[in-house]
Amino acid sequence: MSELQDKVCSREQAVERVAALKRPVVFTNGVFDVLHRGHVNYLHEASKLGGSLVVAVNSDASARMLGKGPDRPLNKAEDRAAVLAGLASVSLVTFFDERTPVALIEAMRPDLYVKGGDYDMETLEETRVVRSWGGDAVAIPFVDGYSTTSLVKRIRAGSGRKVAFLDRDGVINLDRAYVHKWEEFEFVPGAVAAMRRLREAGYELVVVTNQSGLARGMYSEAEYQALTDAMCAALAQAGAAVTAVYHCPHHPKGKVADLAVECDCRKPAPGMILRAAKELGVSLADSFLVGDKPSDIEAARAAGVGRAYIVQSDNAESSGEHVQADAAFKDLADCVAHLLSGPST
């Protein structure tokens, strides 16, 4: 086994091996998703505070608990640990599955617990635990300007990520009121081909849909998800793969108590669009939305989406004459044909 591989071990092995490490033992933890200069400097300074440095890495499941986004962590725990093990400042790397490493700290009993300067050490349970056996906890200032989250956002922004935000009922499928079974679902004629054209033109497809039927108790979350999975599978097979689907299950007059609330995601509120932009790194100015109701257009405007178009449906409000849409079209196919026909695209 190489020295690099030998530095990485399971939680159980780490508890056994800590006794052989040079004292005092310094302990820190984190996701360390994309290692950058700030991390390297931080770990170097931490190692100077003792005889050896143990780094506990959030497992993939633990990292997802932190709400950094649906596609985080970008790198698997084993890969993140291997990169950390390559640093001379690091003596041992292990893992933890919980939101915090308190249980692991209790088992390893390090002499010093270290975190970044943005933490108030006096409020952390880890600090209380380490001090209970005579240890201590300190914060090390970060090097300004370095953050994995901001780095990921810059990379995504630099890639010119453009999104076509699409309402579902009335835009992608025929609006037959509270559709929740695949056998009831029917694509609007030409919609799938239009979505495929958008993909080929460099747009990612993100669906943003109000689903008040959930709050009204007309169908369950499981039924909604089964229909969504079937829709996404059919679109992917047709070359019109959807990047993400966001839905609002709320309605203030709903029958399901937990969902009968005012929220910031039900259109015309912009919550779903803003969440997608944050999680996917979307350039809103370079994106557009297609909906069939004034509430879709209002949500796009509130979120700062570059353009917003309305298409006709059985809803009398969808004519576009009294809403602030950039243009009105018969359907999604007509809209996309217009968008991709000239230099304005």
Backbone angles phi, psi at 29, to 5 degrees: -150, 160
Mean pLDDT of 24-53: 94
pLDDT of residue 142 exceeding 80, the answer is no
DSSP state letter for 187: B
Q: How far apart are CA 276 and CA 162, in angstroms?
A: 12
pLDDT at residue 141 in the model: 83
Flag whether pLDDT at 326 surpasses 70.
yes
Q: What are the residue boundaries of the structural domains of the chain, listed by start?
A: 3-152, 160-339
Q: Is residue 209 scored above 80 in pLDDT?
A: yes
Which amino acid type is present at position 125? E
Give the pLDDT score at 320.
Answer: 44
Per-residue pLDDT at 185: 96
State the pairing for strand pair 92-96/327-329. Answer: unpaired
Q: Please report how many Cα atoms fall inside a 13 Å half-sphere around the Cα of residue 208, on the Cβ side.
A: 30
Give the per-residue pLDDT at 11.
95
Q: Is the pLDDT of residue 295 over 60?
A: yes
Sequence-ordered strand ranges (E) for 130-273: 136-140, 162-166, 203-210, 244-248
Instruction: Tell me the pLDDT tens digit for each residue of 304-318.
Output: 999 999 998 655 444
What's the confidence (pLDDT) of residue 1? 39
- pLDDT tier for residue 70 given thresholds of 50, 70 and 90: low
Asked if the domains at 3-152 and 160-339 fall in one CATH topology, the answer is yes
Nearest-CA neighbor of 305 among 190, 206, 177? 206
Q: Could you tell me the pLDDT band of residue 69, with boundaries at 50, 70 and 90? A: low
Decide if 296 is catalytic: no
pLDDT in the model for residue 343: 40
> Quick check: is 60 catalytic?
no
- Per the prediction, the chain carries an average pLDDT of 89
Going by C-alpha positions, the residue among 123, 122, 114 that lies closest to residue 142 is 114
pLDDT of the residue at 321? 47
Place of tokens 């300067």: 117
pLDDT band at 262 (very low <50, low <70, confident <90, very high): very high
Token duo for residue 301: 């405007």
Domain 160-339: give its CATH architecture: 3-Layer(aba) Sandwich (3.40)
Q: Which of 33, 167, 292, 331 is catalytic?
A: 167
- Kindly state the percentage of the chain with pLDDT values over 70: 88
Percentage of the chain exceeding pLDDT 90? 77
pLDDT digits (tens, 9 = 90+) for 172-189: 999 988 999 999 999 999
- Which one of 33, 169, 292, 331 is the catalytic residue? 169
Domain 3-152 = CATH 3.40.50.2020: no
